[in-house]
Amino acid sequence: MHAIIPPYLLARLAASDQPHVARAAAAARQTLAAPRVYAPVRASLDLSVEGDALVLEASPAPDRVISDAQNREDLPGVRVRGEDDGATGDAAVDEAFDGLGATFALYWDAYRRSSIDGAGGTLEATVHYGEDYDNAFWNGERMVFGDGDGEVFTGFTRSVSVIGHELTHGVVEHSGGLQYVGQSGALNESLADVFGALTEQHLRGQTAAEASWLIGAGIFTDAVQGEALRSMSAPGTAYDDDVLGTDPQPAHMRDYVHTSADNGGVHINSGIPNKAFHLVATALGGPAWERAGRIWYLTMTGGTLSDTADFAAFAAATHAVAVGEYGEGSEEADAVHAAWIGVGVIEDAAPR
């Protein structure tokens, strides 16, 4: 299952006996125990006049459906907003609706991909899942959002990077998939973080230098000593909290975490390819969804990656895409090569 809150973080919270997070600890235990069953193209029209001609241009538009689980753990819930409906006044419903739209906009504007499946498929989401449910996840068909416990986690719909992250798991699946274990699983998580961050940056019109590079900013309450779930620019620094502990992500292969937990550390070791992408994006400058994002997108969707690809295989694939798109010895290809050296995935003397 692809969820934004790693199981090790929920497990630590669930084990806490500190009185000020008693509700959060109970919510974490309930979240860990809750079941998560895996389970027509619209267009926008633009009219313009060129000389004496009326020009009609059509481009894909999102088809969004938001449902309300009404604090039960049954999907899909009650439909509360569709594409042609106005805002409901329910923050979770409207934030989810807007976040799905922002993700659609990134993929279409930057990569001409229409929806998650590339064929204009409906974007579906369910909000208010469970009671005090401390997670958001992609179940193969829809986004599902809990409301959080109010002591540690707030509602998950307020973070556009979370929404873009989870929907990108769907893009990965439709592109051939990456097995959700070990390094291929960490790549799966990293790709979700990359395009979650790019969704937020595209929405805000930020360059790589202006972006926060945080995943999940805003989902912690003010009581938590931390700014987000993960930092792509500085893995391992997103939080340092008495209850949640310290962010365990490494930024370099020398600190790679060997563990059987978390499907072999998929949420932990994703910090390494996350940092590699950040290095490429900041080296190239400008909007990160353009050159750096294009290289990662074409690698993710090109059909050449094995579903068991490790970091080295992904590094080679991104470099091959950069060379194919921009040329051998180009600024883009050199930035990709240098980034993977920078995080220790390849050696400085490794052939290009």
Tell me whether residue 352 is in a domain. no
Return d(Cα 132, Cα 29) in angstroms, integer.
10
Tell me whether residue 64 is in a domain. yes
Mean pLDDT score, 169-182: 94
Tell me whether residue 330 is in a domain. yes
Domain range for residue 113? Answer: 2-342
Of the candidates 83, 201, 33, 64, the one whose C-alpha atom is nearest the C-alpha of residue 143 is 64
What pLDDT does 75 receive? 95
Residue with tokens 């959700």: 180
- Overall number of domains in the chain: 1
pLDDT tens for 198-257 read 999 999 999 999 999 999 999 999 999 999 999 999 999 999 999 999 999 999 999 999
* 3-state per-residue secondary structure call for 301-324: HCCCCCCCCCHHHHHHHHHHHHHH
Q: What is the model's pTM?
A: 0.87
Mean pLDDT over the full length of the chain: 91
Catalytic residues: 166, 267
Give percent above pLDDT 90 in the chain: 80
pLDDT tens for 89-144 read 999 999 999 999 999 999 999 999 999 999 999 999 999 999 999 999 999 889 99
Tell me whether residue 172 is in a domain. yes
Tell me whether residue 351 is in a domain. no
Tell me whether residue 221 is in a domain. yes
Tell me whether residue 348 is in a domain. no
| Strands 78-82 and 64-68, bridge-based pairing | antiparallel
DSSP state of 19: G
pLDDT tens for 37-73 read 555 434 444 445 566 665 545 568 899 999 999 999 9
Tell me whether residue 237 is in a domain. yes
Cα distances (angstroms) measured from residue 5 to each of 81, 113, 134, 138, 155: 26, 27, 8, 12, 12
Of the candidates 304, 307, 284, the one whose C-alpha atom is nearest the C-alpha of residue 294 is 284
- CATH number of the domain to which 238 belongs: 1.10.390.10
What pLDDT does 311 receive? 98
pLDDT at 325 over 80: yes
Quick check: 6 and 268 in contact, CB under 8 A?
Answer: yes
Quick check: 103 and 165 in contact, CB under 8 A?
Answer: no
